Amino acid sequence: MSNVKTNSRLSNRVQQIKPSGIRRFFDLASKMDNIISLGVGEPDFVTPWNIREASISSLERGFTAYSANAGIIELRREISSYMNKRFSVQYDPESEVLVTVGASEAIDIGMRAILNEGDEVIIVEPSFVSYVPLVQMAGGVPVSVGTNNQDNFKVSAKQIEAAITDRTKALMLCFPNNPTGATMSREDMLEIALLAERHDLLVFSDEIYAELSYDEKHVSFASLPNMKDRTILISGFSKSFAMTGWRLGFVLAPEDLLSAMLKLHQYSLMCAPTMAQYGALEALKSGMDDIERMKQSYKQRRNYVVKSFKEIGLSCHTPGGAFYAFPSIESTGLTSEQFAEKLLLEERVAVVPGHVFGAGGEGHIRCSYATSMDNLEQSVERIERLLKKLT
Contact between 103 and ligand PMP (CB under 6 A)?
yes
Smaller CB separation from ligand PMP, 189 or 386? 189
Instruction: Choose, by CB under 6 A, the member of 87, 91, 128, 278 that binds ligand PMP.
Output: 128
Instruction: Choose, by CB under 6 A, the member of 249, 319, 327, 353 that binds ligand PMP.
Output: 249
Q: How far is CA 60 from CA 54, 67, 178, 311, 371, in A?
A: 10, 16, 37, 53, 33
User: Smallest distance from the beta carbon of 13 to ligand PMP, in angstroms?
Assistant: 21
- Closest residue to ligand PMP, judged by C-beta, is 102
Q: What distance lies between CA 6 and its chain's CA centroid? A: 31
Question: In angstroms, rounded to a whole number, what is the distance separating the alpha carbons of residues 233 and 363?
Answer: 31
Smaller CB separation from ligand PMP, 124 or 343? 124
Phi/psi at 217 (nearest 5 deg)? -70, 140
Instruction: Choose, by CB under 6 A, the member of 39, 43, 71, 102 that binds ligand PMP.
Output: 102
Please tell me the count of residues contacting ligand PMP according to CB under 6 A. Answer: 13
Smaller CB separation from ligand PMP, 132 or 380? 132
Three-class SS of 28-72: HHHCCCCCEECCCCCCCCCCCHHHHHHHHHHHHCCCCCCCCCCCC
User: Smallest distance from the beta carbon of 305 to ligand PMP, in angstroms?
Assistant: 18
Smaller CB separation from ligand PMP, 93 or 321? 321
Scan residues 202-231 and list those touching ligand PMP (CB under 6 A): 206, 208
Q: Residue 341, class by beta-carbon neighbours within 10 Å (0-12 exposed, 13-18 middle, 19+ buried)?
A: middle
Instruction: Choose, by CB under 6 A, the member of 238, 240, 277, 368 that binds ligand PMP.
Output: 238
**Residues 288-297: contacts with CB within 8 Å, 24+ apart?**
290/48, 290/241, 291/211, 291/240, 291/241, 294/43, 294/45, 294/240, 294/242, 295/211, 295/212, 295/214, 295/240
- The contact pattern for ligand PMP, residues 29-58, with x = CB under 6 A and - = no contact, is ------------x-----------------
Scan residues 162-181 and list those touching ligand PMP (CB under 6 A): 174, 178
Scan residues 298-327 and list those touching ligand PMP (CB under 6 A): none
Note if the bond before 176 is cis, omega within 30 degrees.
yes
Binding-site ranges for ligand PMP (CB under 6 A): 41, 102-104, 128, 174, 178, 206, 208, 236, 238, 244, 249
